[in-house]
Amino acid sequence: MKKTKKTKIKTLMIAGMVISILSACQNQEEVATEIAACTSNAPSDTSAGLELCKLTGAVKHVKITGIRTSGNHGSAHIVVGYDNWPGSGQNITTGAGQARILWYNGASPAPPASLTVEINEVSKTIPNTGFTTQDQTICFDILSGPALRYWVNGVNSVDCANASTLTVGNAVATVTDFTGASADLASNGKIWFYKSASIAGTPSIELSNRNKTQ
């Protein structure tokens, strides 16, 4: 009987050790599979909205290569935190944890080109900072506060592929006055990209869950 009890105790101890090892392995696997950055390549037609790749956590930095808003009233935009594509109209509303960044090419003679940033229903428009009438590379940080810092390749010696050039002083614009908006974007909402059907090109969109401001 004593041997049987000892055997049972040893068996339980071994089982406990196995469970602990398996649990540790699972935790290591979860850490290893964090998606800190990912890239989506847009097709020529994104009229139905292109769902972008999924990060671990909220998006904090975006880089777009080959963005263009040529033609009268040409536009492109990214929307963050929507489970479903909200549409491409001007009347998209942003709630808690949601954001929209809109590049608008304007028309001749008016209105001028602009960049509009909307976070949690608070909207700010920055004139003439799109630089996207031809294929261009742009990047931006979505910061706590909230705030948005925007860079353009070749402007102020910026190279969006080189994080050391992404400084506060090199930014084309930093928008900080989103009074009343929440500081945090949704970490589980989907991210979408759209460009007008009249705009040629197939841009690539890189997302990161880390800010790049130096």
Q: What is the pLDDT of residues 56-106, one digit of tens each?
A: 988 899 999 988 776 667 788 899 888 888 887 666 778 888 888 888 877
Name the pairing type of β-strands 136-143 and 204-208. Answer: unpaired
**Domain limits of the chain?**
1-33, 37-208
Q: Which CATH number fits domain 37-208: 3.40.50.300, 3.40.640.10, 2.60.120.200, 2.60.40.10?
A: 2.60.120.200
pTM: 0.79
* pLDDT greater than 90 at residue 208: yes
H, E, C per residue of 91-150? CCCCCCCCEEEEEECCCCCCCCCEEEEEECCEEEEEECCCCCCCCEEEEEEEECCCEEEE
Considering the chain, what percentage of its residues have pLDDT values greater than 90?
Answer: 26
- List CB contacts of 4: < 8 A, sequence separation 6 or more: none
Q: What is the pLDDT of residues 125-174, one digit of tens each?
A: 887 655 666 788 999 998 887 888 999 999 999 999 999 999 999 999 88
CA 145/CA 66 separation, integer angstroms: 29
List Cα–Cα distances, 82 to 28, 77, 153, in angstroms: 30, 13, 29
CA 36/CA 57 separation, integer angstroms: 8
Q: Mean of the pLDDT values across residues 165-193? A: 83
- The pLDDT of residue 18 is 47
CA 103/CA 140 separation, integer angstroms: 13
